[in-house]
């Protein structure tokens, strides 16, 4: 099997150990609290098996030559990057928001690049281990998430300086005996800590844990990356279900969409070496690759966001245009101006992702890396304007989105006729169509799940501030100012041909290396 189906995925979840905690209980993953999230994941399987979506949702494995789900693919060309971005956009249209599976894809691709580079300098064997994991992901079409965001403790303090050293995920034991993936005894490490803002962990096959920042020589215990089944011993998933209001009469795709967020706790978890892809204790220079890996994941993930967030904006624009027409105001200039703001943002965000893919460069391992400055520009633009887009939608929908009578009132024999009479607007829409649009506005603007999606629109993949930091750390202002010096007539200033080179996270690694001294190799 290289392209799986939803039924196989659901069966795997049913067979997993109960280690998800919700409201003081440990429900099985087949129970209702995961249904909204699994509705979204289902699209990633169904579309990969749909001839209409096959071109963007499948790819050819560089390891086996077999057709695979693109969510398990390693990007080997500019075309791969463009198709991944387009796939993300098209599938996000189908669920009205995040498609949720891109985190695993982006983590795999980041590891593919960084483990190769680390092995070349440190003589480790992380890349070889990773290839086996990628093969498993591809052959079984597994779903993975990425656990990156540490709880961080005191924000202005480095990991090794925290009063509680567990505020960042860390290694607390090396060269330890424990069970391998096949159950037989093997060597490995023990990790302790927690990851937050951790989407889909309660209904994923595999959890890929990555560092969240650059580490100094004193942070060696925190330079760790690995992948484990989501129900592995010692992993405790604190679930926060996100669901829409339940509907009884007006079924619709938007009513099924949701997710489950998680604080994922690693409570002295044994990780067999075969699943360890970075360990700061393996080599004095390995610690440097923690930040490089963190940046590489963020970079790939922000490129995915130029597909995802463009789709989110387009969905909001679509909903705004429809509710304006239902309200009979679609021809007014102020409405057209508001819609153009959302559409313009969506197009620019997607264009930034396309441009970054077209400016991609090939790395030594054969992966292609998009341009970091363009990717961050696109992601920052999306994050800056997301609340404004919801504001426009609320303005065009009107206050009834927050005061619409309950669904049952429109179907109760005593109140149905009157409720339907008094919501009617544009006569070209039936009463049911009008009700469906207003109910969608309630879901989009007043639902608790959608509130979390607004915040995710700002902070998911990194807040606009993080994009600004990344952008300005990569952008060389010196040749840019040389243009101004020439135009101002500075003495000896000459106009030079200036074309900005492609920026990638590797440049930040080299900058970091210049400021650090190697860590002493010690055993924990």
Q: What is the pLDDT of residues 208-238, one digit of tens each?
A: 999 999 999 999 999 999 999 999 999 999 9
Rg of the chain in Å (alpha carbons): 25
Model confidence pLDDT, tens digit, residues 346-361: 999 999 999 999 999 9
Range scoring the smallest mean pLDDT among 147-161, 184-198, 281-295, 501-515: 501-515
pLDDT at 175 over 70: yes
Domain boundaries, the chain: 304-473
Q: What is the second-level CATH architecture of the domain 304-473?
A: Up-down Bundle (1.20)
CA distances from 363 to 73, 109, 174, 304, 370 (A): 16, 12, 31, 19, 11
Q: Which residue has the tokens 């894809």?
A: 105
Lowest mean pLDDT among 38-47, 375-384, 452-461: 452-461
Task: Give Cα 36 distance to the centre of its chain.
Answer: 17
The pTM assigned to this predicted structure is 0.93
* CA-wise closest residue to 147 among 131, 167, 169: 169
Other C-beta atoms within 10 Å of 411: how many?
A: 15
What's the pLDDT score for residue 520? 39
Cα–Cα distance measured from residue 35 to residue 243, given in angstroms and rounded to the nearest whole number: 9
Q: Confidence class of residue 171 from pLDDT cuts 50, 70 and 90?
A: very high
Q: Which two tokens stand for residue 235?
A: 């992993």
Give the DSSP letter of residue 212.
Answer: -
Residue 148 above 50 pLDDT? yes
Parallel, antiparallel or unpaired: strands 206-209 and 185-195: unpaired
Q: What is the pLDDT of residues 115-133, one digit of tens each?
A: 999 999 999 999 999 999 9
């Amino acid at each position: 099997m290289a392209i799986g189906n939803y039924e196989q995925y659901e069966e795997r979840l049913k067979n997993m150990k109960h280690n998800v905690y919700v409201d003081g209980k440990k429900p099985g993953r087949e129970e209702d609290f995961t249904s909204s999230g699994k509705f979204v994941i289902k699209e990633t399987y169904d579309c990969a098996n749909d001839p209409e979506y096959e071109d963007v949702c499948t790819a050819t494995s560089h390891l086996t030559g077999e057709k695979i789900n693109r969510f398990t693919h390693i990007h080997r060309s500019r075309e791969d990057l463009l198709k991944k971005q387009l796939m993300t956009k098209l599938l996000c249209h189908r669920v009205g928001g995040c498609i949720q599976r891109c985190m695993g894809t982006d983590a795999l691709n980041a590891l593919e690049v960084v483990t190769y580079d680390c092995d070349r300098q440190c003589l480790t064997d992380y890349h070889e281990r990773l290839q086996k994991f990628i093969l498993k992901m591809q052959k079984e079409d597994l779903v993975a998430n990425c656990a990156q965001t540490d709880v961080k403790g005191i924000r202005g303090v480095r990991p090794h300086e925290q009063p509680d050293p567990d505020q960042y995920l860390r290694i607390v034991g090396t060269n330890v005996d424990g069970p391998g993936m096949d159950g037989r005894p093997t060597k490995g490490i023990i990790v302790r800590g927690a990851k937050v803002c951790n989407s889909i962990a309660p209904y994923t096959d595999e959890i890929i844990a990555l560092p969240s920042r650059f580490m100094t020589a004193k942070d060696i215990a925190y330079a760790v990356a690995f992948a484990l089944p989501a129900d592995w011993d010692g992993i405790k998933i604190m679930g926060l279900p996100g669901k829409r209001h339940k509907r009884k009469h007006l079924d619709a795709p938007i009513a099924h969409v949701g997710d489950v967020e998680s604080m994922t706790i690693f409570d002295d978890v044994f990780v067999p070496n075969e699943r360890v892809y970075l360990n700061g204790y393996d080599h004095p220079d390995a610690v440097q690759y923690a930040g490089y890996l963190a940046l590489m994941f963020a970079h790939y993930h922000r490129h995915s966001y130029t597909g995802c967030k463009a789709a989110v904006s387009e969905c909001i624009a679509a909903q705004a245009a429809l509710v304006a027409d239902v309200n009979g105001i679609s021809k007014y200039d102020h409405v057209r101006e508001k819609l153009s703001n959302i559409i313009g943002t969506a197009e620019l965000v997607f264009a930034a992702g396309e441009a970054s893919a077209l400016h991609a460069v090939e790395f030594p391992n054969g992966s292609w890396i998009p341009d970091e400055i363009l990717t961050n520009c696109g992601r920052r633009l999306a994050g800056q304007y997301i609340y404004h887009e919801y504001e426009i939608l609320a303005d065009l929908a009107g206050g009834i989105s927050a005061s619409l009578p309950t669904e049952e009132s429109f179907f109760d024999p005593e109140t149905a006729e009157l409720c339907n009479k008094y919501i009617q607007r544009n006569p070209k829409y039936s009463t049911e169509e009008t009700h469906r649009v207003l109910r969608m506005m309630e879901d989009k603007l007043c639902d608790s799940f959608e509130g979390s999606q607004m915040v995710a629109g700002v902070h998911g993949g990194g807040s606009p501030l993080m994009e600004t930091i990344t952008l300005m750390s990569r952008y060389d202002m010196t040749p840019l100012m040389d243009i101004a010096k020439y135009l101002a007539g500075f003495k000896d200033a000459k106009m030079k041909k200036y074309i900005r080179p492609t920026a990638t996270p590797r440049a930040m690694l080299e900058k970091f290396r210049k400021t650090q001294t190697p860590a002493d190799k010690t055993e924990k």
